[in-house]
Structure 1
Amino acid sequence: MSSPADAINKATPAYPENEIDNLEEEKQGQVVDAFGNEDGAEVKYKTLAWWQCGMCTLVMISESVSLGVLSLPAAVASLGIVPSIILIVGLGIVATYTGYVIAQFRIRYPHIQNLADAGEILLGPFGRELFGLGQILFSIFIMGSHILTFAVMMNTLTDHGTCSIVFSVIGMVICMVCSLPRTMKNITWISILSFLSIFSAVMVTMIGVGVQAHGQGPMVELTVKTGLVPAFSAVTNIVFAYCAHVAFFGLISEMEDPRDFPKSLCMLQVFEITLYCVAAMVIYHYVGHDVASPALTSAGPILKKVAYGIAIPTIVGAGVVNGHIGLKYIYYRLFSKTGLMHRRDAMAVGSWIAIGVSCWVIALIIAESIPVFSNLLSLISSLFASWFSYGLGGVYWMHLNWGQMFSSPRKIALTIVNAGIILIGATLCGLGLYVSGKAIHDDSSTSAWTCRNTA
């Protein structure tokens, strides 16, 4: 019986296997690798086994779950059960395919460590700067969303014990300190704790809302009549739940064997799709249209505190991992051509800390400037996840198969599929920016840089 990874490999091979071998072994007559020869280096980066990458991909589960799943019940309330199930499963399947294409693109060009490297292949120096800027901004926005969630958590646990800005600053400092390890292998252990905490918190929330309803939930609807802004805002919140792709190049580059990545990808997507459907539907069923975003707030006066307390590791840890991806890009870009990356001296460590402090401060500014959870996630999805998780997957495939796109019926079908994926990314970006911008403008609860209770 074939595995999901085998099924994907059979369905969409970009190149014959022997051709990939040749391309991976040779580029301009020499072996090319993102981090070069690490023999004897003080700091080694290529240390991830496939299961550890799976754990790092569980970090991406933690990221998507910690923020993505917390907005899904409210998305179901805006769209209804049937459209939500179709979108959660459908977008998850497309995200699995685009993730596989990213892995094929990385095998074709083994020197890729980040999105900027991919951008240079597609569009030259301009593409490097454009994609690099996008990766940095995406990471910083994600970091900001975790700072915002940390403030919501602290307001919930302490019944608004002090100014929300103070909680945000505390969250920023904690995340910044946890970002100090320079290698992804060291971050892996944070990911395991992060995953366990958010999974437990979601379970507590589902049990809590079920107990409160005494087995009888409010009226729920299969479909909901709604307007463009709330409906598409809900769609972008579902898209955010599949935002992990921005980290895939970095994860693959630190694997001992990049060919094992499809195993990690399947591990991610199967779990995500299943948990998203179950958690979103159960919480919506028992809470109804009044479900909160983040969803943990719907667990009741006592249990929501329990849920947020359990979720502390993922609120911090998943933000740290996503921050690590952005910090690593800047660090790699500045010092990859020097020996600094592989040293432990004051200059190497001090540079890493300076980059971290700068990025986390910017993330704090974003969190306080857009202090509404669902609106911030919608903006992030529209600006970045629309392309990083969807549209660019189609572009990568077109590049890999340029000149062969109409060579066979299968290639023609895949060309149509990938053109559709590019169109999906463009639609999510354009329409998503409109609805998220309007929601931020119209939301009467928006109150930037104040001490109000964000919970």
Structure 2
Amino acid sequence: MVGLQSTEHAGDNCTPLSDERGSYTTAENGFKEKDATDTHEYDVYGDEDTAEIKYRTMVWWKAAALMLAETVSLGILSIPSAFSSLGMVAGCILVIGLGALATATGYVIGSFKLRYPHVHNMADAGEILAGPIGREVLGAAQVIFIVFLCGSHVLTGLIAFDTITEGASCSVVWAVVTAVVCFICTIPRTLNGISYMSVVSFISILAAIFITMITVGVNGHTGTVTASAHLTFAKGFLAVTDIIFAYAGHVAFFTFIAEMKKPEDFPKTLYTLQICDTTLYLIVGIVVYAFVGDTAVAPALGNTGQLVRKIAYGIALPTIIIAGVVNGHVCAKLVFVRIFRRNGMKSKHMNSHTFTGWATWIAICLAIWALAFVIAEVIPFFNDLLGVISAVFASWFTYGISGIFWLHLTPRSERWTTTKQKAKTIFWSLVVMMGALIMVAGLYASIVSIIDGYKSGGFPGPFSCVSRAL
């Protein structure tokens, strides 16, 4: 294992992390099992018995609530339009297939975390895979991806406020309001403190979606429904990336597991997430598309009449805010841990109510939401840019990187020993190739969409007061 094993003091304010020493023997399934001998693994937060701020406090269902809030919130809103582009059959197959694969890749992330207890984020995993270069590349990618996700919540928030108020104020004002509220709610230092808000978030999006489904059902069939669709590659793959984005919560899994009381309970959390989100995506996609057909729009709440649309967006506001807060908190925690953890040491500011610790935390949160606001306002083709970012990062964080994790966890000498192991090795190698394919195809489709948007003049100017109401 590379790095993070030194026991030298990084400074006067640092204390050593608790050191879990143990080596790993190989199990029949190819993963590693802990064995008490001589390696230097440790938990990122160390011994919390006397800590003022305790991070590892979440039970599995709270982690599930966080993951549902982060994953389902905005992802579910794009599903009906994806069905509209792909057709009913392809839409259902992709939702089920990509959901099942996301379950498998999420399980591997959990196994990697248990094998390396010190891993808190993708940067730590990158260091294990490829040394300092891997750490910087994956760490930067994770921060960039999450900041853009936060930007998408700022943009969705201003659209919601504009829709509710019928553009009564400059849309930039609503972007500021959304960013400020998200910043304030991100300030709690532990994920356990945000988990209760996540329950509210999940109830919020469920209520908004059910109102939408009931309304389109009452309105009756307004569009054409097809079993399949005839699309250009670019438009078809853009719809596929919408479904991929709906499962793109894996980027935060390491951080969620790090704050669970029992990391070994993660499979229960993962299965809860995947059963719930796959079921919801199928129901929403089938019901809304069955009634709205090829006229379906994204976000899904826009498929109703004006009054109901206002009500649905009002009910959905908590999930727009809280899901953004979860992403913002994870991003802030990555930076915070990077600052106050050095070579196997953690600063007292991580677990204590010090002025330096709180000032640093608040400054990081402020910077994240300020960047999210600027990105959402300055870039005229933000939605398409988010497609580019998702193609580059979600393709790997949700799918490809887990294949690399599996290959790392399984020694070469054991990959081809039995028929079962051979099948697994081929499968996970294909997953890595799939991540690369999604990245290339998604980039192409998103760039084509940006070019088409410029040709049609469909992009607003930066910091424009033009209403974004649906």
What corresponds to 1:34 in structure 2? 44
How far off its partner does 1:192 sit?
0.6
What corresponds to 2:27 in structure 1? 15
Paired amino acid for 1:365 = V
**Separation in structure 2 between the aligned mates of residue 439 and residue 302 of structure 1, nearest angstrom:** 31
What corresponds to 1:176 in structure 2? 183
- In the alignment, is the contact (CA less than 8 A) between 1:76 and 1:280 conserved in 2? yes
Given the superposition, is the C-alpha separation of residues 251 and 398 from structure 1 closer, same or farther in structure 2, using an over 3 Å criterion? same
How far off its partner does 1:380 sit?
3.3
2:249 maps to which of 236, 244, 247: 244
Equivalences for 1:108-257 in 2 at 5 Å? 108-213=115-220, 216-257=221-262
Paired amino acid for 1:234 = A
For the residue of structure 1 that corresponds to 2:306, the secondary structure is coil
Q: How many residues align?
A: 436
How far off its partner does 1:21 sit?
4.6
**Separation in structure 2 between the aligned mates of residue 432 and residue 349 of structure 1, nearest angstrom:** 40
How far off its partner does 1:434 sit?
1.6
**Separation in structure 2 between the aligned mates of residue 314 and residue 370 of structure 1, nearest angstrom:** 24
How far off its partner does 1:362 sit?
1.0
**Separation in structure 1 between the aligned mates of residue 362 and residue 369 of structure 2, nearest angstrom:** 11
Q: Does 1:317 align with 2:331?
A: no
Q: Does 1:344 align with 2:353?
A: yes
How far off its partner does 1:376 sit?
4.5
**Separation in structure 2 between the aligned mates of residue 377 and residue 203 of structure 1, nearest angstrom:** 27
For the residue of structure 2 that corresponds to 1:302, the secondary structure is helix
Q: Does 1:59 align with 2:72?
A: no
Paired amino acid for 1:339 = K
How far off its partner does 1:421 sit?
0.6
Q: Alpha-carbon deviations, 1:157-208, whole Å to 9, x = none?
A: 0001111111111111110010000101001011111011001111111011
Q: Alpha-carbon deviations, 1:318-355, whole Å to 9, x = none?
A: 00001111100000000123111111122111111111
Paired amino acid for 1:56 = L
1:447 maps to which of 452, 456, 460: 460
**Separation in structure 1 between the aligned mates of residue 306 and residue 444 of structure 2, nearest angstrom:** 35
**Separation in structure 2 between the aligned mates of residue 267 and residue 371 of structure 1, nearest angstrom:** 37
How far off its partner does 1:20 sit?
4.4
Q: Alpha-carbon deviations, 1:38-87, whole Å to 9, x = none?
A: 12111111111112222222223xxx322111111111111111111111
What corresponds to 1:389 in structure 2? 398
What corresponds to 1:10 in structure 2? none
- In the alignment, is the contact (CA less than 8 A) between 2:31 and 2:111 conserved in 1? no
Paired amino acid for 2:251 = V
Paired amino acid for 2:100 = I
How far off its partner does 1:447 sit?
1.4
What corresponds to 2:370 in structure 1? 361
Paired amino acid for 2:366 = V
For the residue of structure 2 that corresponds to 1:22, the secondary structure is strand
**Separation in structure 2 between the aligned mates of residue 375 and residue 448 of structure 1, nearest angstrom:** 15
Given the superposition, is the C-alpha separation of residues 223 and 236 from structure 1 closer, same or farther in structure 2, using an over 3 Å criterion? same
Given the superposition, is the C-alpha separation of residues 235 and 165 from structure 1 closer, same or farther in structure 2, using an over 3 Å criterion? same
Given the superposition, is the C-alpha separation of residues 293 and 373 from structure 1 closer, same or farther in structure 2, using an over 3 Å criterion? farther
1:327 maps to which of 295, 307, 332: 332
Equivalences for 1:69-108 in 2 at 5 Å? 69-108=76-115
Paired amino acid for 2:47 = N
- In the alignment, is the contact (CA less than 8 A) between 1:150 and 1:168 conserved in 2? yes
**Separation in structure 2 between the aligned mates of residue 275 and residue 18 of structure 1, nearest angstrom:** 33
**Separation in structure 2 between the aligned mates of residue 27 and residue 363 of structure 1, nearest angstrom:** 44
How far off its partner does 1:364 sit?
1.1
For the residue of structure 1 that corresponds to 2:34, the secondary structure is helix
How far off its partner does 1:356 sit?
0.9
Paired amino acid for 1:97 = A
Name the % identity. 42
Given the superposition, is the C-alpha separation of residues 26 and 81 from structure 1 closer, same or farther in structure 2, using an over 3 Å criterion? farther
- In the alignment, is the contact (CA less than 8 A) between 1:209 and 1:298 conserved in 2? yes
What corresponds to 1:46 in structure 2? 56
**Separation in structure 2 between the aligned mates of residue 262 and residue 339 of structure 1, nearest angstrom:** 32
Structure 2: segments with no counterpart, 5+ residues: 1-24
Given the superposition, is the C-alpha separation of residues 254 and 387 from structure 1 closer, same or farther in structure 2, using an over 3 Å criterion? same
How far off its partner does 1:411 sit?
0.7
TM-score (normalizing by structure 2)? 0.89
How far off its partner does 1:400 sit?
0.5
- In the alignment, is the contact (CA less than 8 A) between 2:41 and 2:116 conserved in 1? no
**Separation in structure 2 between the aligned mates of residue 388 and residue 345 of structure 1, nearest angstrom:** 34
- In the alignment, is the contact (CA less than 8 A) between 1:293 and 1:373 conserved in 2? no
Given the superposition, is the C-alpha separation of residues 151 and 372 from structure 1 closer, same or farther in structure 2, using an over 3 Å criterion? farther
Q: Greater share of helix residues, 1 or 2?
A: 1
- In the alignment, is the contact (CA less than 8 A) between 2:41 and 2:118 conserved in 1? no
Q: Does 1:429 align with 2:439?
A: yes
Q: Does 1:378 align with 2:406?
A: no
Paired amino acid for 1:310 = I
Paired amino acid for 2:378 = S
How far off its partner does 1:249 sit?
0.5
How far off its partner does 1:402 sit?
2.5
- In the alignment, is the contact (CA less than 8 A) between 2:336 and 2:364 conserved in 1? yes
What corresponds to 1:402 in structure 2? 411
Paired amino acid for 2:375 = I
